[in-house]
Amino acid sequence: MAHDHETHIPRPALIAAAALIAFTIAVAVAARQGLIQRDEPIVAAAVEERALLFNDRRQGGIEVVAADTGRVLTVFQPGTNGFARGVMRGLARDRRQQGFGPEQPFRLVRFDDGRLALIDSATGRTIELVSFGPTNAGVFARLLSADEGES
C-alpha cells in the first residue's frame, strides 16, 4: 500500500487566493492613478493652545503647571482623574524610552474643527482627546482656561 505524502491544495482555495491578490493589486494601482479617492489629511487651525508641564508629587499626585509662568494650575490627587493619569503615564513612558525627560512641555491644542489634542513636544506623539468621549476630554479642556492656582 503506497502513501501519498504530497500536499494537495483544493483548486477553489487557489482560485480564491489568486483573486484576492489580483484585487489587492488592482486597488493599489487604481489609488495610485487617482481612480479611487483617498482620504485627505485633516487640516485645521489651532484656536486655543497652552503649554503644560506635568510633575509627579511625592504623595502620588500629578501637578499640572503652566509652562510659560511656572505656576501650578491644578493637582490631580491620587485616586482621581484616572483617564488623565493614564494618558500622562503612557506619554511619560514613551519619553523615557526615547531618552527624553519631563523638561519639554506638552501642547494642549483646541482646533477650529472642535478637536482637542495633547501633543508631546519631545516625541511628536499626538493624542486626539475627543476620541475618548466628552467627559475624558473635558478633564483636559478645563486646563486650557484654568486660572493659576485652581485645584
Of the chain, the end-to-end C-alpha distance in Å amounts to 84
Task: Indicate the average pLDDT of the chain.
Answer: 86
Q: Whose grid coordinates read 495633547?
A: 118
Same domain? 134 vs 63 = yes
Percent of the chain with pLDDT over 90: 44
Which of 25, 23, 147 has the alpha carbon at shortest distance from 74?
147
Same domain? 78 vs 94 = yes
| Per-residue pLDDT tens over the stretch 98-130 | 999 888 999 999 999 888 999 998 998 999 998
Same domain? 34 vs 51 = no
* Per-residue confidence (pLDDT) for residue 53, from 0 to 100: 93
Same domain? 21 vs 60 = no
Same domain? 51 vs 26 = no
On whether residue 126 sits in a domain, the answer given is: yes
